[in-house]
Amino acid sequence: MPDIRIVPLGAGQDVGRSCILVSIGNKNVMFDCGMHMGYQDARRFPDFNYITGGDQTTLTPHIDAVIISHFHLDHCGALPYMSEQVGYEGPIYMTMPTKVICPILLEDFRKVVTKRSAGAETNFFTSEMIKNCMRKVEIVGLHQVINVDDELSIKAYYAGHVLGAAMFKITVGDESVLYTGDFNMTPDRHLGAAWADRCKPTVLISESTYATTIRDSKRSRERDFLKKIHRCVENGGKVLIPVFALGRAQELCILLEQYWDRMKLNVPVYFTAGLAEKATNYYKLFVNWTNEKIKSSFVERNLFDFKYIKAFQKEIHMNQSGPQVCFATPGMLHAGMSLEIFQNWCTDEKNCIIMPGYCVAGTVGHRLLHGERHFKFNGVNVTSRIKVEYMSFSAHADAKGIMQIIKMTEPKNVMFVHGEAAKMEFLAKKVQKDMGLPCFTPANGETVNISCPPQIKVKIESDLARKIMKRSLNRAAFHAALVNDGNELELLHPDVAMKKLKVKQHHFQMNTSVNLPEGNSTPEQIIVSLRLLIKTYIDGSLMEKWVPVGNMMNSIELASPDMSQTISIVAEKLKTFDTFGNHKSERVLKVTWPLSVDDEIGILLSRLSKEFALVVPR
């Protein structure tokens, strides 16, 4: 059986550039192909030379499948580079929402990079490459098992996190690896909770962004967010929230809508048009990827048709006096409406800007978050006085959620990626200690080998399997004969095996004696009282359906319901001597029974020896 080899090219003890290579036997799969927000040089992409060994070949012969968990750039940002520039012609798997939204983000990313570098980035992937790359994508439905080839299959599970996010399981033979991507174990306002069946993967590779965080902090962050907005508008300020049109924006909009409703606020809230409408359409089309509440009401009222949040009209709203809140795209303030609004509002200290996500280095958003306050827009120097807040709202599982997915799927090994080294180390120790599972936290480029003990295949006739399993739903003990006819192994019922192989049964009789308390009653008297005791066993559950047979004075015979087995109990009086040489009469019960009722007798004897002392006449 194949061993498993895993090496992160990105996201090993780090967040960003997720790219994890998994080999099961001779099948190689790449989970995610992301970019790193923190770098602008070659390090922004995973080092694919690792795979090709530096020679000039493409990745196609080395990789059997590429799987993208969701549309965030740190999970798909390197995809066109990988498939079109390094070269990969094999299949790329995604869910449909990811396939639809991913190219929009890639195009956005491409524009930011090429614009920022002002032509210096001559070798960045082009729009055409994004299109060609997306042509290689095959759609995976939730729980649908896709056979990549005869040996390798993949299956997707709902992950929450963002629209279309999925966890993926790959299986080769008996071994499987489940990769969570980014996931969320608690439903939020617009998405459901991650779920997988008890699929017992050989390895579970889990993200660990919030490895040491617990859920409450998310609630307080949301309260904080609302408080900051409320305070700013109370003082007559304007709040700018630059967002990417898809993802957390919808969650924040729903959050704000509900707050506005509860607090009966009438301060206007806007969302810049364009992509926002498009985004809402994605949520309408893929309503089955949202949560139950949204699904159940979508015919009558789409939760994304907001009551308070109106379309932003530049001419009217940009310089409208008084407070307002505006969600504006793009999220990193690198161009477009959000940047334009920022230019207009940033000089007023009453105003506030809340950055709810990452910003790529070089963007205005990134500079602002790093303390810069002086900008040059269209040749004019501007000093920003706007209040700057950063709050991360990404929806990841917390420590409890990570433990939950481990319990839910029952892996044999656990691996953490997509987190900070110290935090994942802490959680890894906990997993090892509390669950007794081997837990790995490899750095980028570090290989983890997991050996999988080989499996032997035995066939069993369905009828026999059914008879065995009749006793239980998922596990049942049995005795059988294992037969090897030179070609294959088969489990047979002993009767069938003996008949088939012309082998005779070997009977076993078990014998034991039970010492009775001292007394003078005769064996016949003992048997009389014993019959009464055994009758209570037969009437009760202990020896249900056993039948007393024969009518001997000093023994009892019991036959099994089908009369094939018998148990005999003989009472005897033995004359022995005690240690002082005095006569002593010892009374013994001799019990004999066949092997097949072994345990019943064990139970019976332990009962007998306790209870008999009470009933036997002295």
CB of 460 to another protein, least distance (A): 5
Which residues on adjacent β-strands are paired with residue 94? 139
d(CA 570, CA 554): 6
Rounded to the nearest 5°, which phi and psi values hold at 176? -145, 155
Of 490-509, binders to another protein (CB under 8 A) are 491, 494-495, 497-498, 501-509
Nearer to another protein, 578 or 599 (CB): 599
Under the criterion CB under 8 A, does residue 478 sit at the interface with another protein? yes
User: Phi-psi category of 281—alpha, beta or left, where left has phi over 0 and alpha has psi -120 to 50?
Assistant: alpha
* Identity of residue 72: H
Total residues binding another protein (CB under 8 A): 81
Nearer to another protein, 294 or 403 (CB): 294
Site string for another protein, 14-53 (x = CB under 8 A): ----------------------------------------
- The terminus-to-terminus CA distance of the chain in angstroms comes to 67
Site string for another protein, 452-471 (x = CB under 8 A): -xxxxxxxxxxx-xx-xx--
| Among 486, 580, 582, 614, interactor with another protein by CB under 8 A | 486
Under the criterion CB under 8 A, does residue 347 sit at the interface with another protein? no
Nearer to another protein, 422 or 501 (CB): 501
| Among 26, 217, 281, 347, interactor with another protein by CB under 8 A | 281
CB of 514 to another protein, least distance (A): 8
CB of 168 to another protein, least distance (A): 14
Of 220-279, binders to another protein (CB under 8 A) are 278
Q: Return the DSSP state at 593.
A: E
Of 97-116, binders to another protein (CB under 8 A) are 99-100
**Options 197-205, 318-326, 367-375, 524-532: segment touching another protein (CB under 8 A):** 197-205
CB of 140 to another protein, least distance (A): 9
Inter-residue contact 604 to 540 (CB < 8 Å):
no
Nearer to another protein, 495 or 524 (CB): 495
Of 161-180, binders to another protein (CB under 8 A) are 174
Under the criterion CB under 8 A, does residue 199 sit at the interface with another protein? yes
CB of 125 to another protein, least distance (A): 20
d(CA 525, CA 520): 10
CB of 58 to another protein, least distance (A): 27
Rounded to the nearest 5°, which phi and psi values hold at 267? -65, 130
Under the criterion CB under 8 A, does residue 391 sit at the interface with another protein? no
Inter-residue contact 17 to 44 (CB < 8 Å):
yes
Query: Tokens at residue 467, please?
Result: 């008879």
Inter-residue contact 78 to 19 (CB < 8 Å):
yes
| Among 596, 611, 613, 615, interactor with another protein by CB under 8 A | 596
Nearer to another protein, 193 or 465 (CB): 465
d(CA 142, CA 154): 11
The helix or strand, by DSSP H or E, that contains position 412, with its residue range, turns out to be none
Which residues on adjacent β-strands are paired with residue 599? none
Of 516-575, binders to another protein (CB under 8 A) are none
> Secondary structure of 87-150 in the HEC alphabet?
HCCCCEEECHHHHHHHHHHHHHHHHHHHHHCCCCCCCCCCHHHHHHHHHCEEECCECCEEECCC
Rounded to the nearest 5°, which phi and psi values hold at 137? -85, 135
**Options 24-32, 58-66, 483-491, 547-555: segment touching another protein (CB under 8 A):** 483-491
Under the criterion CB under 8 A, does residue 196 sit at the interface with another protein? no
Q: Is 537 helix (H, G, I), strand (E, B) or coil?
A: helix
Under the criterion CB under 8 A, does residue 433 sit at the interface with another protein? no
| Among 42, 316, 477, 532, interactor with another protein by CB under 8 A | 477
Under the criterion CB under 8 A, does residue 610 sit at the interface with another protein? no
Catalytic residue among 84, 207, 222, 251: 207
Under the criterion CB under 8 A, does residue 145 sit at the interface with another protein? yes
Under the criterion CB under 8 A, does residue 408 sit at the interface with another protein? no
Nearer to another protein, 244 or 260 (CB): 244
Nearer to another protein, 243 or 605 (CB): 605
CB of 38 to another protein, least distance (A): 31
Nearer to another protein, 96 or 559 (CB): 96
Catalytic residue flag (residue 207) = yes
Q: Is 218 exposed, middle or buried, given 0-12, 13-18 or 19+ CB atoms closer than 10 A? A: buried
Contacts of 354 (CB under 8 A, 6+ apart): 225, 228, 229, 239, 240, 241, 389, 390, 391
> Secondary structure of 146-203 in the HEC alphabet?
EECCCCEEEEEEECCCCCCCEEEEEEECCEEEEECCCCCCCCCCCCCCCCCCCCCCCE
Nearer to another protein, 233 or 567 (CB): 567
Query: Tokens at residue 556, please?
Result: 């009892």
How far is residue 534 from each of residues 92, 233, 240, 515, 612, measured CA to CA in Å?
71, 86, 86, 17, 10
Under the criterion CB under 8 A, does residue 313 sit at the interface with another protein? no
| Among 263, 285, 311, 615, interactor with another protein by CB under 8 A | 285
Inter-residue contact 68 to 94 (CB < 8 Å):
yes
Q: Are strands 387-390 and 352-355 parallel, antiparallel or unpaired?
A: parallel
Under the criterion CB under 8 A, does residue 421 sit at the interface with another protein? no
Neighbours of 173 (CB within 10 A): 15
Under the criterion CB under 8 A, does residue 576 sit at the interface with another protein? no
Nearer to another protein, 262 or 479 (CB): 479
Under the criterion CB under 8 A, does residue 513 sit at the interface with another protein? yes
CB of 128 to another protein, least distance (A): 18
Nearer to another protein, 281 or 392 (CB): 281
Active site residues: 207
